[in-house]
Amino acid sequence: MQIVFSLILFLFSTFSISKEINPADWLLWHKVETELPYSSTLTIYPPVMLYAENGVLRGSISAPYSLSGNNNRVINEFLITVTDARGNTHFLEPKLESVGFVNDTGISMSSLSSNSFHNGKIQIQLYKTNSVENRQELSDRNKKDMTRQQGIENALTNIRIPKPVLGEVWPIKALTLQGQNIDVIISSSKFTIIQLYSEFCGFCRKAIPLNNALNASENIKVIGIAGTNNFNAFKRHLNTSRLEYSFITYEDDYAESALLEATGQQGFPTYFVLDATKQVLGIFVGNSSLERWLAAQAI
C-alpha cells in the first residue's frame, strides 16, 4: 500500500497564560503529583511529555488529526497546568504546530513551554474542553473508576500482602500452588527472587527461560506471585507456558491491580530479591534491571 507522508509546519505559537481555570470551559481529566521528567502513559489522554531545562518548563503533546473529520484540530481541545515547587501555576494551552500524515489520518504535535519554572515536587493537571460528549465520558469513567477501586479494596482483604521495604525483612506469608510454605523455600536459598507476574504481560513471558534457569541453579530460587480471575485457566497457562518455578496465586477479578497496590508497584514484571532471612536486597522493575543485578553478582 502506498504511504503518503506530508509534514505541515506552522509558526511557533506561545501559550496562553491565565490565572484561573474556568469550569465553564474546562473539565479536569487527570491529576498527579510527581517530579520531572514526566511522560504520561494514560489511555484517557493524549501522550504528554514534560521536562525542566534551565528554569524553563518544556514538553510536547500529540493528538489525532484527520482530514476527513469535522474537527481536525483536536489538539486545541486540551489544557495542561503545572504547579511548580514554589506554588506557581504554569498554564500550557497547546496550539497546532505540526502534523504528520499517513494517507488521510495523522498526529498533530505541539510544543509546550513556560518560563520562570521552579523544579522539584510538582502537580500536573490535565484538562479537556467542557463539552456534552466530554462530560458524559468523564461521568462514565468516574463511575467505572469507583467500581474498580471498590473491587481492588475487596481483593486486598483476601491478599493481605505487606508492602516490601528495601533493606527490611519482608514478613510475607503464603503457600505455593504446590502447597509449600514459601518460608521453607526462602530459608534454604542464598537468594530468592519473587516476581510479580501477569499472564498478559509480554515481558513476563519473555523472562520465563531465564527465571526457569535461575530457579534450577544452586543459589537462587524463583517464586511468582500472580492474580487471576480464573484459577483453573491460570494453572493451564503455567503448564502451556512451561513455567517451572513455584507460584502464589490469588483469584479475583481485581487481583492483579490489588497485588500492585499492596506491594506499592506500578507494573509487571517487578522483582523483589530476598536473602535467606527474607530481607529485601533489591526491588527491580523490568527484566533488564534484574539482569544488571545478576551481572553485578556474577550470577
- Using CA atoms, how far residue 90 sits from 11, 26, 62, 146, in Å, is 22, 16, 19, 30
Whether a cis peptide bond, with omega within 30° of 0, leads into 164 is no
CATH topology of domain 152-296: Glutaredoxin (3.40.30)
Distance, CA of 91 to CA of 89 (rounded, Å): 6
> Which pLDDT does position 254 carry in this prediction?
96
* pLDDT exceeds cutoff 90 at 23: no
Q: Indicate whether this model's pTM tops 0.85.
A: no
Domain residue spans of the chain:
7-132, 152-296
Residue 257's pLDDT is: 94
Q: In what order do the strands lie in the sheet with 7-9?
A: 7-9, 98-102, 105-114, 56-66, 48-53, 38-39
Helix 255-263 vs helix 132-159: crossing angle, to nearest 10: 70
Q: Tens of pLDDT along 129-144?
A: 999 999 999 999 999 9
User: Cell triple for residue 189?
Assistant: 536459598
The reported pLDDT for the residue numbered 98 is: 85
pLDDT surpassing 60 at residue 246 = yes
Most confident of 67-81, 91-105, 198-212: 198-212
Q: Of 199, 38, 24, nearest to 125 (Cα)?
A: 38
Residue with grid cell 507522508, as numbered in its chain: 5
* Range scoring the smallest mean pLDDT among 28-42, 90-104, 172-186: 90-104
Average pLDDT of 115-127? 97
The pLDDT, as a whole number, for residue 69 is 66
- Compute and round to an integer the Cα radius of gyration of the chain: 24
